[in-house]
Structure 1
Amino acid sequence: MKLFSESLLSELEHQLKSIHSETEEPILYAEQAIKRLITILEKLKTAFLNHQFKNKSEEIDFFRNIKPQFAAKLIYYNDIYNIETNKPFGSKKAIRKYYNAEVIKLETYFTENAEFYKYYRTGNRNLDNKYFIRGKHDVRHTLDSFYFQADHRFSTSHDYKVARILANDRIKIYLETEISKLENKENPNTVTIPLRKTQKWTGSKVALVELIYALHTEGVFNNGASELKEVTTFFEAAFGVDLGQFNRTFLEIRTRKSERTKFLNVLKEKLILRMDDADEN
């Protein structure tokens, strides 16, 4: 099932990339994406219902890690379609106010589901048998109303919530980008500083892995909702480095006999020295 899902996700990514290459108009690409996603999700559902899971762990993995990747994309494009089709006509100020109101909705969802956000983003597994096994719903666990209308053969109490979290991250980035575009248009004389095209990581890969784990643990990316793999992939792309099996690298860091946070310690020491030097000048 996992291999099939990965192949299907790759096919989906290719189709979405093709759609975006054809048009930059949000309503148009969102409409086309939704159609493709519905078809892909039907394929995923059909394969799932014909699959016999070996154990509960496999079922949990599907609903925690696999299905949400597909569902999140459908939620994202559907919300973009609705946001753009309901966008008011008028001044940039009115449109910016509208986008800001949409951002507040995302923040409200985060607040209402803060407990699950924390559970999911910290990689907690204690309640997976309740959250990601079919037929184990508990109304005391802040269920989305969507769950009660879903096909329970293909849904658990919290797989939609994971998908919503992933989608909200992307929707917020979209809204903030659109707000930024409006502000730049209102301030055409704003001076932009040219940046180098790339910043290549020239430190050790082990040091970068240590830094990524520290930042992810602190929850500084997307209110702590980003998956470790997502953050690592971003850093690899941004700094032109391949971190390979970063989980194994972290294991090596954990088993150090001394200075487990070697790179972070060096950073702290050198920053303090820089501050001291600045104070003396």
Structure 2
Amino acid sequence: MNQKIINLQTDLNEQLNFIDLEIDNEIKRCEKAIEITLKAKENLKNVVIKSQFKSQDEEIYFFKEIKPQFTSKIIYYNSILKIEMKKPNGGNRILKKYYNNELIKLKSFFDNELEFYKYFRSGNNYLDYKYFLRGKFDVKLALNSYYFETDTNFSTSHDYKVAKILANDLIQLYLENKLIMIENKGTTEKSQRQPNIKMMWTGSKVALTELLFALHTEGAFNNGAADLKDIAEYFEHIFEIDLGQYRRTFLEIKARKNDRTKFITTLNEKLLTRMNNSDEVL
């Protein structure tokens, strides 16, 4: 794969992570994310048009795996922006109805695209030469009208549908999390089984902050869709700890002259030592 394309993808993810750290307001964050992703996609288009794929397999891989990663982010953030801007004012019952209606809208897309959805999710590739090669469209394959208005130098008949599937997965997760948050606000009793013992974080707050940012950067929660703020509040809740100004703490961690990932480095070293201790009984 072209190194320029890899760099564009890496830079985009880093920029989106950065604005997630810096912007708490969902609407403003979505607006900035859309702006950044549109620019990244335009740069991606320029790279593809100026260069040539080495083989049909490389072209298929790009339009099936790479381009949808960019397009799906635009679809996702634009959808969340619309959802939040249209959100009604009201209590939990009104909000639950609103978010549930949005989930129903997502289901209608899956119902309409069920055949291709099954093809993509099952990992099939026998029709990839029709779906993901430029100029190889088949009008019998349930094409959407928008395809005929796209730039055929940078589009195939189904790369947008892949992006839509990826985006809808994240939108569904977003909506389900919103509903869970509403449920949690409306009840004082936890429905899940309580552990027999209470765990306390006895390490430093700086160490927990370092771990918090590492997990968020890795996308370890909710397929990478969880906000840093939500993860921080979750940590504070389960450990009954106040992380304070954790963003400022992160800047202090970044400013370290030696071993900026001190806690994570220590975790790695101690875990490797444990693994190497063949006499340990688990």
Q: TM-score range by the shorter chain?
A: 0.5 to 0.7
Question: What's the secondary structure of 1:156's corresponding residue?
Answer: coil
Q: For 1:7-46, list aligned pairs within 5 A.
A: 7-46=7-46
- CA distance in 1 between partners of 2:177 and 2:137 (Å): 37
Q: For 1:53-64, list aligned pairs within 5 A.
A: 53-64=53-64
Question: What's the secondary structure of 1:110's corresponding residue?
Answer: helix
Question: What's the secondary structure of 1:141's corresponding residue?
Answer: coil
2:247 aligned residue: none
What do the CA deviations read for 1:210-239 (whole angstroms, capped 9, x no partner)?
xxxxxxxxxxxxxxxxxxxx99xx7xxxxx
Q: How many residues align?
A: 204
- CA distance in 1 between partners of 2:12 and 2:138 (Å): 33
2:81 matches 1:81: yes
- CA distance in 2 between partners of 1:22 and 1:105 (Å): 31
Question: What's the secondary structure of 2:176's corresponding residue?
Answer: helix
- CA distance in 2 between partners of 1:145 and 1:182 (Å): 38
Name segments (4+ residues, structure 1) moved above 6 Å. Answer: none
How far off is 1:118 after superposition? Answer: 1.2
Question: What's the secondary structure of 2:135's corresponding residue?
Answer: coil
Any gaps of 5 or more consecutive residues in structure 1? 198-229, 235-239, 242-281
2:168 aligned residue: 168
Q: What is the letter of the counterpart of residue 120 of structure 1?
A: F
How far off is 1:196 after superposition? Answer: 6.7
- CA distance in 2 between partners of 1:122 and 1:191 (Å): 34
1:68 aligned residue: 68
What do the CA deviations read for 1:180-235 (whole angstroms, capped 9, x no partner)?
111111113446636879xxxxxxxxxxxxxxxxxxxxxxxxxxxxxxxx99xx7x
1:159 aligned residue: 159
Any gaps of 5 or more consecutive residues in structure 2? 201-218, 224-266, 269-282
Q: What is the letter of the counterpart of residue 78 of structure 1?
A: N
- CA distance in 1 between partners of 2:21 and 2:94 (Å): 30
- CA distance in 1 between partners of 2:143 and 2:33 (Å): 27
Q: What is the letter of the counterpart of residue 51 of structure 2?
A: H
How far off is 1:139 after superposition? Answer: 2.8
TM-score of the pair, normalised by structure 2? 0.67
TM-score of the pair, normalised by structure 1? 0.67
What do the CA deviations read for 1:11-54 (whole angstroms, capped 9, x no partner)?
01110011010123211110000000011001000000001122
1:3–1:95 CA distance, 2 compared to 1 (3 A)? same
Paired-residue identity, %: 46
2:177 aligned residue: 177
How far off is 1:6 after superposition? Answer: 1.6
Q: For 1:213-224, list aligned pairs within 5 A.
A: none
Q: What is the letter of the counterpart of residue 33 of structure 1?
A: A
- CA distance in 2 between partners of 1:74 and 1:145 (Å): 20
Are the counterparts in 2 of residues 144 and 161 from structure 1 also a CA contact under 8 Å?
no
What do the CA deviations read for 1:145-190 (whole angstroms, capped 9, x no partner)?
3323321111000000001111111110000001111111111344
Q: For 1:116-127, list aligned pairs within 5 A.
A: 116-127=116-127
- CA distance in 2 between partners of 1:131 and 1:33 (Å): 28
Q: For 1:1-281, list aligned pairs within 5 A.
A: 1-190=1-190, 193=194
**Bigger shift: residues 90-99 or 38-47:** 90-99
- CA distance in 2 between partners of 1:25 and 1:93 (Å): 23
Are the counterparts in 2 of residues 60 and 129 from structure 1 also a CA contact under 8 Å?
yes
What do the CA deviations read for 1:97-149 (whole angstroms, capped 9, x no partner)?
11111111111111111111111111111111110011222232222333233
- CA distance in 2 between partners of 1:191 and 1:125 (Å): 43
Q: How big is the alpha-carbon RMSD for the aligned residues of Structure 1 and Structure 2?
A: 2.6
Are the counterparts in 2 of residues 135 and 152 from structure 1 also a CA contact under 8 Å?
yes
Are the counterparts in 2 of residues 76 and 167 from structure 1 also a CA contact under 8 Å?
yes
- CA distance in 1 between partners of 2:175 and 2:146 (Å): 24
